Amino acid sequence: MQIASNTSYDIGSSYSIQLNQKEILVVDEDPELKLQFESRKAQKEKEQELQKSLAKEKASNPNELDPEQEEQVKELAQRDAEVKAHEAAHQAAAGGLAGAASYTYQQGPDGKMYAIGGEVPISAPTSSSPEEALANARKIMAAATAPGDPSSQDMAVASSAAMMQVKAEQQLAQKAQEEVQGTQTYKNVGDNLISQEENKSSLDISA
């Protein structure tokens, strides 16, 4: 079969193959598809330009946050307020037994630092009496459970304070018992002395 010059063979709706004057195969794009391709290309370039513009605008406004970052900042701010209120409750209840609060911070997308954890040191001085020990134990227990949502560490401190309270109460009970026994002993000694005096008087009278 001979192939004449400039004869075209349809191979579908996209392309056609033809021989030019020099009988060289040439592939021509379908005009309609070419138009669609150029349209998509123009749209893609437009989107790229828009992204570049947004990136440039964001660079000139570093404080502008996207919705996800704004939500993160909101959560951090809420946590910061909760942590500081928690530690303030400890300090208020502990009074002079509490030290300065210390915090663990995290930087938010807005560049600010937010407290995400904290602690308040509480020290009980050496008590000079069971009464003082009992008062300190009760104050520590109140400080540990002061926040509305005490942590596991808070409850551990409260448990230790409860043991201090029990020990102080035992010492007070022992002290009270000793005082009662001392009074009774004194009374017994007094009664014996009186009895001896009466016997002596009786003997003297008899003599």
Q: pLDDT per residue over 107-146, tens digit each?
A: 999 999 999 999 999 887 787 888 888 888 899 899 999 9
- Lowest model confidence (mean pLDDT) among 12-21, 93-102, 180-189: 12-21
Report yes or no on 2 lying in a domain. Answer: no
Torsion of CA 88, 94, 97, 98, to 10 degrees: -10
Do the domain assignments include residue 140?
yes
Full domain range(s) for residue 23: 8-60
Same domain membership, residue 136 and residue 88: no
Predicted pLDDT at 45:
80
Q: Are 155 and 193 found together in one domain?
A: yes
Whether residue 19 lies inside any domain: the answer is: yes
86, pLDDT greater than 60: yes
Check pLDDT > 90 for residue 79: yes
Q: Are residues 206 and 147 in the same domain?
A: yes
Instruction: Indicate the pTM of the whole model.
Output: 0.55
How many folded domains does the chain comprise? Answer: 3
Regarding whether 145 and 178 lie in a shared domain, the answer is yes
What confidence score (pLDDT) does residue 129 get? 87
| Residue 105 banded pLDDT, cuts 50, 70, 90 | very high
**118 and 129: one domain?**
no
Dihedral of CA 183/188/189/194: which sign?
positive
Higher pLDDT: 91 or 95? It is 91
The answer on 129 and 90 residing in a single domain is no
